[in-house]
């Protein structure tokens, strides 16, 4: 039983990190129809900038804040310079964002060097609690808490605020939103920046979780995020959460019970969902 609880907490924590990365991706795709393969690069930049600032100041929360700002700034630059010229053209989007992903990765090495960087869990989040025979690692619970908190904040914004309404309407029908007098391009920019900030947050939280960060870390995680977006339904925020938890849990259980299948399980999940619900678990009605 204690093993199952531990595997579940582990899976949930991984799921939350994937969710933070995928949620930005799904909003960007749902609203803007933009395939952003540079998203993983923003994740890695979040990890490096956040851990660098954390090391510099000794405050993990300032590190998180710095990663968020890095995400917002890089999101602004990426949208203005890379994405704006290729709106509406998926082939060009794939090529230019993949290229930009490589540029972001190499730039990381220019700024912080080619070596891996160690990332420690801050002392107040280190260690674990023992409840009966169950050992609960504090930092994993912290990640799960942050994941649900971010989900709550974004759900509130999407459901209860005017900008959230506009984003949801834009996912369903962009032309109509413009015809109602709303500058959708400005909304695109805000969403892109928010999505990039979430990617950076995911990166900086991931760093102490894995203990070490490296420039290419974005590639690996971005693939998981894309799988989650497809499973959850492109453009669906709750879909991303559910799919990320599924992927996280499946990976965690499989790694223990059937290690040989632990890498394939995500692809299998995606294949099963695509066979029975090609549109993903959740979809937006236009």
Contact residues for other proteins, defined by CB under 8 A: 162, 165-166, 168-169, 172-173, 175-184, 284-286
Residue 166 CB, shortest distance to other proteins, in Å, is 6
Query: Of 274, 113, 140, whose CA–CA distance to 208 is shortest?
Result: 140
Residue 153 CB, shortest distance to other proteins, in Å, is 20
Neighbours of 85 (CB within 10 A): 11
Residue 185 CB, shortest distance to other proteins, in Å, is 8
Nearer to other proteins, 59 or 183 (CB): 183
Residue with tokens 């066979």, as numbered in its chain:
275
Residue 233 CB, shortest distance to other proteins, in Å, is 12
> Distance from CA of residue 148 to its chain's centroid?
13
Residue 132 CB, shortest distance to other proteins, in Å, is 44
Nearer to other proteins, 15 or 233 (CB): 233
Residue 259 CB, shortest distance to other proteins, in Å, is 41
Nearer to other proteins, 143 or 166 (CB): 166
Nearer to other proteins, 8 or 173 (CB): 173
Nearer to other proteins, 122 or 164 (CB): 164
Nearer to other proteins, 162 or 276 (CB): 162
CB 229 within 8 A of CB 215: no
Residue 286 CB, shortest distance to other proteins, in Å, is 6
Nearer to other proteins, 189 or 284 (CB): 284
């Amino acid at each position: 039983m204690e093993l199952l609880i531990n595997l579940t907490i582990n899976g949930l924590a991984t799921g939350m990190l994937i969710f933070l990365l995928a949620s930005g991706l799904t909003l960007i795709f749902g609203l803007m129809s933009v395939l952003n393969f540079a998203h993983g690069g923003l994740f890695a930049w979040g990890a490096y900038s956040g851990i660098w600032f954390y090391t510099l100041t000794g405050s993990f929360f300032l590190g998180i804040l710095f990663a968020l700002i890095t995400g917002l700034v890089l999101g602004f630059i990426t949208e203005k310079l890379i994405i704006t010229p290729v709106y509406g053209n998926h082939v060009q989007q794939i090529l230019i964002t993949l290229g930009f992903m490589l540029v972001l990765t190499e730039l990381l090495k220019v700024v912080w060097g080619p070596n891996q960087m160690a990332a420690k869990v801050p002392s107040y989040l280190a260690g674990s609690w023992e409840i009966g025979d169950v050992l609960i690692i504090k930092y994993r619970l912290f990640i799960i808490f942050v994941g649900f908190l971010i989900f709550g904040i974004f759900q509130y914004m999407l459901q209860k605020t005017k900008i959230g309404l506009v984003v949801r309407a834009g996912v369903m029908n962009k032309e109509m939103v413009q015809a109602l007098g709303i500058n959708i391009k400005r909304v695109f920019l805000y969403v892109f920046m928010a999505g990039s900030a979430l990617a950076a947050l995911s990166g900086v939280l991931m760093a102490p979780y894995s203990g070490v960060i490296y420039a290419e870390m974005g590639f690996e995680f971005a693939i998981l995020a894309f799988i989650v977006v497809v499973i959850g339904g492109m453009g669906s925020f709750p879909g991303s959460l559910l799919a990320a938890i599924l992927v996280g849990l499946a990976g965690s259980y499989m790694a223990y019970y059937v290690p040989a299948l632990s890498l394939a399980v995500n692809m299998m999940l995606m294949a099963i969902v695509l066979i029975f619900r090609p549109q993903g678990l959740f979809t937006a009605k236009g």
